[in-house]
Structure 1
Amino acid sequence: MTATDTSQYHFWIRWATRASVATAVILIIAKLIAWFYSGSASMLASVTDSLMDAAASVITLLAMRFAIQPADENHPYGHGKAEPLATLAQAAFILGSSFLLIFHGVDRILKPAALSHSGLGIGVSIFAIVLTLALLMIQRKAVQVTGSTAIAADSLHYRSDLMLNFAVLLALGLADNGAWWADGVFSVLIALYIGYGAIGLGYEAVQMLLDREAEPEVRKQVLALLNQDERILDCHDLRTRRSGQNLFVQVHIELESDISLRLAHDIADAAEKRILDAFSQCDVIIHQDPQEVVTGSAP
């Protein structure tokens, strides 16, 4: 990364994470007021989801501040694993809360009650939709500039919030017209949706912590970059992994056995540069193996 790229990366990481925390806090306050006056179970589900958003955003903020720190003596591979660790903590927190929402929603289904001040809840839900859309615009730009998986996951979560807020609007509208059961039903549906998302986030975090191979497209691109040089006869033992925003590549290349050490080094250096140019945050290790080249036919 150039100095300009690094500056842009840090700017958008900080801007997106801080905007996410601010949005979650504002929505928590607004939804708490609406739930207090309306008593809506689905609004309580929305409040809980916003609390999860706030917790997730704070964890993401702290984790990204740690993850973007450069490698040091004690962490020679950088601090990128802070991202999946934060995601795993978010997933566990969100999953536990979804169970609480299910219990509350089932209780409301079994004991339906009329809502009061439902208009306030509807107004707050519309406000939440508008504010969330504004945040998503910021996060979209941040992901375009940084490619951050943590910001992308946070953005995905807020996109799901749009659906949740629309669901709350529908539940409040139905309950306001006598369908009191809708409030509890939508609370349970929202909880199930949140729980499903938490399981998906947790799975992806665990895979990254276990050093899962990078995406197939990345491996294909690395091999294509290596094969641009005809002096590289073959490649094998290609291994890739991600640690936060950092991509790690290890590969063996086969070269003619009779070339000089200097030439072998230059070929590997050129291959490494092609990969580094293609992936802005990358660590590459290339091992050169000699290969006997048969130039004539056997007698």
Structure 2
Amino acid sequence: MSRRTAVRRVGVVILAANAVLAVAKGAVWYATGSLAVGSEAVNSLADVAYSAVVLAGLYLTTQPPDFEHPHGHERIEPFVSLFVAAGVLVAGGAVAYSGVTALLAPGPPRTFTGGPLAVGVLVAGGAVKLLLYRYCLRVGRRRDSPALVATALDNRNDTLTALAAIVGVLGAAAGYPSLDAVAAAAVSVGILYTGYEIVRDNVGYLVGAAPPEELREEILDRALSHPEVRGAHDVVAHYVGPEVDVSLHIEVEGERSLFEAHDIETEVVESIRAIPAVDDVFVHVDPKELGEWKEVSDARVAPDEARIDGDGDRSTDAGGTEPRPDDAQ
């Protein structure tokens, strides 16, 4: 299954699940009058609205490249994630406000209404949200989708709010209505932190941050694994949306023909592009004899280019030293 199909399918599942939950909670609220279930019904209705926006965003971000967006539409996806983060932060603030207000100015004691039906729909809703969390997180990580990961975290929050509602219902039944406010205040901290997590994880996608060092090492390893590549340097890897664009220089023997150099470049591009997180790859081919090596961490040579100099230190034709006169012959 392609990334495009998988991501869109998750969006449809989320929208359908939230719609079913909103109807179920609304029906139980109408039948029992439970305030806890009523608040959860409103929450699920809001989830339906944001799920529709997320689905639309996922549809746009998985559109193929076109004339106006030659590199695709992936940069839209972090904005979808930030939209989810905004909803999470607003929800966390609302829960915190309601919890703190109830603690500081408690109203009349609440009576337990709804019985097993109210508890049952809250437990079922929490279980569904937990399953959605795991499903979205698994697909989001497998498909490198920050929007799905953000949606997964939002579903985790809904599991926590459902738990707080259950605590409130059972607390009222046991004669301790303040437990509802305490649970809400505690859950709000987790919700607000989740909003921060989503913003933190997606800002890098928008500003073109560098990927993890492990990915840069894999890029160099793949470039140097080609038998004709003698070294690589000037590696630039950065996020374009959730995907990584790469450019680098490779060193080959200068007497190679243009046809041979082209074939080497093509094979290196295909090898690096096979990395799941990588989108576009740009490779510049340098003649090895020019000695364009630099004393930087992303300059490396092929293993058979390394040698031991007269002082017993390992040196190369490049990568930290100027080429020796006999190297240019």
Specify the TM-score bucket, using the shorter chain as the normaliser: 0.7 to 0.9
State whether structure 2 residue 147 is matched by structure 1 residue 150.
yes
Q: What letter matches 2:244 in structure 1?
A: L
- Report if the CA contact (8 A) 2:161-2:184 is conserved: no
Which shows bigger deviation, 162-171 or 189-198? 162-171
Normalization by structure 1: what TM-score? 0.84
Distance in 2 between the 1:129 and 1:286 partners?
50
State whether structure 2 residue 113 is matched by structure 1 residue 117.
yes
Q: Which residue of 2 aligns with 1:106?
A: 100
Deviation track 1:101-155 (CA, whole Å, cap 9, x = no partner) reads 2222222222143133153431221120333345356546644763433223322
The change in CA–CA distance for 1:145 and 1:199 in structure 2 (over 3 A counts) is: closer
Q: Which residue of 1 aligns with 2:124?
A: 127
- Report if the CA contact (8 A) 1:252-1:287 is conserved: yes
Q: Which residue of 2 aligns with 1:188?
A: 185
Deviation track 1:211-235 (CA, whole Å, cap 9, x = no partner) reads 1112322222111111112432222
Deviation, structure 1 residue 201: 0.8
State whether structure 2 residue 55 is matched by structure 1 residue 58.
no
Question: Any residues of structure 2 matched to 1:126-275 within 5 Å, and which?
Answer: 126-136=123-133, 138-139=135-136, 142-143=139-140, 146-275=143-272
The change in CA–CA distance for 1:244 and 1:268 in structure 2 (over 3 A counts) is: same
Distance in 2 between the 1:226 and 1:156 partners?
36
The change in CA–CA distance for 1:35 and 1:242 in structure 2 (over 3 A counts) is: farther
Deviation, structure 1 residue 265: 1.9
- Report if the CA contact (8 A) 1:118-1:176 is conserved: no
Question: Quick one: which of 73, 77, 90 aligns to 2:67?
Answer: 73
Distance in 2 between the 1:156 and 1:283 partners?
29
Q: Identity of paired residues, percent?
A: 26
Distance in 2 between the 1:237 and 1:48 partners?
54
Distance in 2 between the 1:193 and 1:266 partners?
53
Distance in 2 between the 1:25 and 1:242 partners?
34
State whether structure 2 residue 84 is matched by structure 1 residue 87.
no
Greater RCO (Cα-Cα under 8 Å, separation 6 or more) = 1
Gaps of 5+ in 1: none
- Report if the CA contact (8 A) 1:67-1:244 is conserved: no
Normalization by structure 2: what TM-score? 0.77
Q: Which residue of 2 aligns with 1:17?
A: 11
Distance in 2 between the 1:64 and 1:23 partners?
17
Deviation, structure 1 residue 285: 0.5
Distance in 2 between the 1:196 and 1:125 partners?
23
Deviation track 1:15-68 (CA, whole Å, cap 9, x = no partner) reads 21111012222323444566672234x973x45654554344222211110111
Distance in 2 between the 1:70 and 1:233 partners?
36
Q: Which residue of 2 aligns with 1:28?
A: 22
Question: Any residues of structure 2 matched to 1:260-299 within 5 Å, and which?
Answer: 260-279=257-276, 282-292=279-289, 296=326
Q: What letter matches 1:234 in structure 2?
A: G
Which shows bigger deviation, 53-62 or 211-220? 53-62
Which shows bigger deviation, 263-272 or 236-245? 236-245
Larger CA Rg, structure 1 vs 2? 2
Deviation, structure 1 residue 193: 1.7
More helix by share: 1
Q: What letter matches 1:179 in structure 2?
A: Y
C-alpha root-mean-square deviation of aligned residues, in Å? 2.9
- Report if the CA contact (8 A) 2:144-2:243 is conserved: no
